[in-house]
Amino acid sequence: MASQTPTISIKLLINLESNTVLLAEAGSDFVNTLHSLLKLPLGNIARLADMHQCLQPGCLNNLYNSVENLGLEIFRTKACKHMLLYPRNVHDVEFKKLKLNMDLSVPTGCFVCGNVECSEIFGGLFSYYKGTRCICEWGANRDIRQFIKIDAVKDETEGVLYRGESMFFITDDLRVMQGSPDDLIQFLLNMGLKNVSRVEEKVVEIERGIGSGTTPMLDELFSTIAPKEKESAEKDGKTRVKLMLRKSDRKVLYAESSEDFVDLVFSFLTIPLESVLEMVLVAKGSLTLGSISNLFRDLNTIFSVSKQKNSQQGVLPPFYSCPKEFPNICSRDPPKYYHVFTHYDHLTEGEKDTKIYLQPMDPKSPERIPTNSSGYVEKNSFVVTDDLVVQPRSSVSSISLLLEIGIQLDDVESKVISIGEVEAIALLGACLWSSSALTASLNSFAKKPKQEPL
Ligand SMILES: [Zn+2]
């Protein structure tokens, strides 16, 4: 049987003299897929990169694996771990229309209490995640998706997909230009190429499958993130972290923290790549990313994205934790679900049409609350290594950590620093490009003589 895997063809223009790819020519399907990649949460990017065995700079994969390896008891609820491992994005419905959809998010359900008596009394309570604890101590285990409807909501996906038929040129440094033959001639001339006979065209098929051997889109994305110098600045923040530093070279050996810092770093997995780039690029001078910033800027222009509108809407799905260090990263309000009893034969037509609105329950909270609580992990002490492996403090011995690093004890000092927006953005950027994320982002903040109380 022929493979049903959807593919997209793109044309590569190859310089025969140097045997290098000059640029790719692609249609709107490919540009839509590129654009959707920017809208995926970092946790899904980590999964995709892992599936495709892409080389990942930074330590996003360690962060992701930490969540995977931590026991359920570390998290406030079972759903907290699930939300971090399979983060949803607010455009998942729209992405299903893509010819090549790279989104790995898992659809959620609409679960009500498994205790039928209870769900009839409190008929309106639901959770997106199975097992959320109900007021009666039972779990929300009954999926009633097939019985519910959703109030029509305004289409908020404007600008997510490019609808026209158009050709685009994508350069090696990820510039994306709407293509015309004129642009192509100018580009080739700029590259110093006058003789078109030295250029060969090669068509390649892009597919989602693992190891497809085609254009490595994610490799491309990751390989273009390159470190640049950072700038130090300090803001007051309540999240504090104790850094263990090697005096001789200021390397951060590891950090000790409470749950608020771990909640912050775990929430990185849920933030769309696009919002990450936006924050990192806006934080002028704190980090400059490589050619991925070209891709980000050009796609923003092509898709005419209104950032202000997005930030007002919230970039995270309902009930995802909004880190206080990133005031613009907010979750959306849940849609209004209701059910009608059309399937009950004994009801009158009027009764069958009655809309019963469901009240959402926060899947992150062990208590039944309808509002969004903060945080994914239980109160605890944690050790976070320089490359962002997170473990509970109780399971790590400091001495064995130091022995592992192989360091003289008189070469170690500790510094407590507070994490505000500036530090958090620096750490978020470093998580993407440095395998020593704590050192790369926080050691400059630890130079201040002032010692903070933990
Ligand atoms: Zn119940």
Rounded to whole angstroms, how far apart are CA atoms 81 and 63? 13
User: Is residue 1 one of the residues assigned to a domain?
Assistant: no
Q: H-type helices in 156-245, by residue range?
A: 181-190, 217-223
For 69-102, how does the pLDDT look when each residue is reduced to its tens digit (9 = 90+)? 999 999 998 889 999 999 998 888 888 888 888 8
CA of 369 to the centre of ligand 1 (A): 13
For residue 439, which of 408, 404, 406, 415 has the smallest C-alpha distance?
415
Q: Residue 369's pLDDT is what?
A: 67
User: Is residue 258 one of the residues assigned to a domain?
Assistant: yes
Is there a contact between 234 and 412 (Cβ–Cβ < 8 Å)? Answer: no
User: Is residue 218 one of the residues assigned to a domain?
Assistant: yes
CA of 133 to the centre of ligand 1 (A): 8
User: Is residue 452 one of the residues assigned to a domain?
Assistant: no
Range of the domain at 207: 7-447
Q: Residue 266's pLDDT is what?
A: 97
pTM above 0.85, yes or no: no
| The amino acid at 345 | D
CA of 139 to the centre of ligand 1 (A): 7
Q: Residue 159's pLDDT is what?
A: 63
User: Is residue 352 one of the residues assigned to a domain?
Assistant: yes
Q: What are phi and psi of 148, to 5 degrees?
A: -110, 160
Q: What are phi and psi of 38, to 5 degrees?
A: -65, -20
Neighbours of ion ligand 1 (CB under 5 A): 113, 115, 118, 134, 136, 138
For 293-319, how does the pLDDT look when each residue is reduced to its tens digit (9 = 90+)? 778 878 888 877 555 554 467 899 999
Is there a contact between 452 and 442 (Cβ–Cβ < 8 Å)? Answer: no
The count of domains in the chain is 1
CA of 140 to the centre of ligand 1 (A): 7
Q: Residue 268's pLDDT is what?
A: 96
Regions of the chain short of the pLDDT cut 50: 1-2, 209-218, 222, 224-237, 286-287, 310-311
CA of 83 to the centre of ligand 1 (A): 22
CA-only gyration radius of the chain, Å: 25
CA of 138 to the centre of ligand 1 (A): 5
Tokens of 220: 């491309």
Q: Residue 178's pLDDT is what?
A: 81
